[in-house]
Amino acid sequence: MNGKKSLTRRFTMDKISCPKCNSTDLYRYGKEKHTGLQKYLCKHCKTQFVPNRPYKHKSNTNNFGNCPLCGSKLHLRKRNKNSIQLRCSKRPNCRYTVSIPLNSPPLQTTPDVKIPKFFRFPLHIISYALSLYFLYRLSSRQIKEKIQLKFSLSVSHTTIISWCKIFSSLIHNLFNSNLTTPKNPPSVWLIDETVIKVNGKKLFIFAILDYHSRYLITLNISPTKDLNQAKQTLLKALEFTKAYPKTIISDRAACLAIAIEQTFAGKVVHQKVHLYSKNPAKSNNRIERFFSTFKQNFKNRRNPRSIQNAILFSYTYAFLYNFKRVHSHLNSTPAQCLGVEINTYNPYMEVFLKCLI
């Protein structure tokens, strides 16, 4: 009986054919839960379908271009609200991937923060508040209490936050333009990227670190992880150092390898290392450690709720890491070890530097 029942379930459909391979050798495969329409299963290609309905598993006809490594077609891997991710069709032989922004405005890397001509409170009170916020990581309400106890002044916690934003914007401009060329150009670069989330949106941070002095050479914040952003990061580092490195150490990300090859054209040695390699001379552990402490401090600040505040926090942390933090192994700051100095004539910036350095 069981054999007869199984034979009765198998039959050939003359009028219905598989939309993928055009076979008429089909099974009935139950009914759809919401519509109650009859589903069928093809014996040859195992495709499930409902007659007179477009086949939802057809290959994507969109042309996303070709892989720059092997020339094969790029396929859509995944899609989210902000971007789409493409990868090579020859995977796993070719592991090229790229992210493309999707209907998202360009990231504003220069925050619009207006610097006032004068402040209501004296500058020494502002420098005291900034040192408590940036160095001792107190909240704005805790700083308000400290100022009230020490100076007998009542300052709103929102005013303290605005001070931090104003001076963070000064640091952002200082980090990009008002630093001298290193006296001891770095010979070994560590390059990597990490991701943070701001209101559910991903921000990718590319960074280059000097292997010997631990100086953070450059930062590049982008909504996507792709080849163009990796190349921009390398060009920023070249603009700052004015010299080619001897060696660049990175992980096995395809976008970093292609960017290094296109930027330097074989003039530097590129070492691809595994994550947390035991050999310190051939590892990317120092920049991984930098990213872990950076993200820990980012969470301690309760994750800035806007992209502008996230950018300001990132550059402020990078500035303090280079010019304030004394490394235990070097007995000096990374900026002192590399020979980088600050060129600024802004009185507000000089006050801020005196309270930090």
pLDDT in tens, 116-148: 777 888 888 888 888 888 878 788 899 999 999
Phi, then psi, of 98 in degrees rounded to 5: -150, 145
Tell me the CATH number at 26. 2.20.25
Res 7: pLDDT:
35
d(CA 317, CA 324): 10
Q: Is residue 65 part of a domain?
A: no
Tell me the CATH number at 239. 3.30.420.10
> Of 94, 44, 34, which is closest to residue 69 (Cα–Cα)?
94
d(CA 242, CA 217): 12
Average pLDDT (99-120) is: 66
Instruction: Report helix, strand or coil for 172.
Output: helix
The region of weakest confidence among 30-34, 100-104, 274-278, 335-339 is 100-104
In total, how many domains does the chain have? 2
pLDDT at position 4 over 60: no
Residue 58 sits at the vertex; the CA angle it makes with 53 and 63, to the nearest 5 degrees, is 130
Q: Does one domain contain both 191 and 334?
A: yes
Q: Is residue 16 part of a domain?
A: yes
Q: Is residue 59 part of a domain?
A: no
> Of 94, 32, 26, 34, which is closest to residue 66 (Cα–Cα)?
94
Place of tokens 């006296």: 183
Res 258: pLDDT:
86
pLDDT tier, 111 (very low <50, low <70, confident <90, very high otherwise): low
Average pLDDT (237-252) is: 91
> Of all residues in the chain, what percent carry a pLDDT higher than 90?
20
For the segment 78-90, what is each residue's pLDDT rounded down to a tens digit? 887 767 888 888 8
pLDDT at position 8 over 50: no
Res 355: pLDDT:
65
d(CA 75, CA 97): 10
pLDDT tier, 106 (very low <50, low <70, confident <90, very high otherwise): low
d(CA 158, CA 168): 15
- Using alpha carbons only, how large is the chain's radius of gyration in Å? 28
Contact assessment for residue 346 and residue 173, using Cβ atoms and an 8 Å cutoff:
no
Q: Is residue 114 part of a domain?
A: no
Phi, then psi, of 145 in degrees rounded to 5: -65, -40
pLDDT at position 273 over 90: no
More confident residue, 133 or 291: 291
Res 110: pLDDT:
56
Q: Is residue 109 part of a domain?
A: no
Which residue spans within the chain are E strands per DSSP? 10-12, 25-31, 38-42, 48-49, 74-79, 83-88, 97-101, 188-198, 201-210, 216-222, 247-250, 269-272
pLDDT tier, 92 (very low <50, low <70, confident <90, very high otherwise): confident
Res 179: pLDDT:
84
Bridge partner residues of 10 (DSSP) = 27
Contact assessment for residue 341 and residue 322, using Cβ atoms and an 8 Å cutoff:
no
Range of the structural domain that residue 35 is part of: 2-49
> Of all residues in the chain, what percent carry a pLDDT higher than 70?
83
d(CA 317, CA 298): 9
pLDDT at position 275 over 60: yes
Res 281: pLDDT:
64
Q: Does one domain contain both 198 and 337?
A: yes
How does the average pLDDT of the chain come out, rounded? 81
Q: Is residue 130 part of a domain?
A: no
For the segment 164-184, what is each residue's pLDDT rounded down to a tens digit? 888 888 888 777 677 888 888
Name the token pair of 342.
Answer: 């600050």
d(CA 20, CA 34): 24
The region of weakest confidence among 13-22, 108-117, 196-205 is 108-117
Res 144: pLDDT:
93
Q: Is residue 208 part of a domain?
A: yes
Instruction: Report helix, strand or coil for 42.
Output: strand
For the segment 194-235, what is each residue's pLDDT rounded down to a tens digit? 998 888 788 889 999 999 999 999 999 888 887 888 999 999
pTM value is 0.71
d(CA 220, CA 226): 12
pLDDT at position 265 over 70: yes
Name the token pair of 272.
Answer: 């691809």
Residues 6+ apart with CB under 8 A from 28: 9, 11, 38, 39, 40, 41
Indicate the Cα dihedral angle 285, 290, 258, 75, nearest 10°: 100
Contact assessment for residue 89 and residue 72, using Cβ atoms and an 8 Å cutoff:
yes
Residue 181 has what DSSP assignment?
P
More confident residue, 43 or 103: 43
Res 305: pLDDT:
78
Average pLDDT (306-327) is: 85
Q: Is residue 17 part of a domain?
A: yes
Res 6: pLDDT:
39
Q: Is 13 left (phi over 0), alpha (psi -120 to 50) or beta?
A: beta
Res 188: pLDDT:
92
Bridge partner residues of 49 (DSSP) = 40
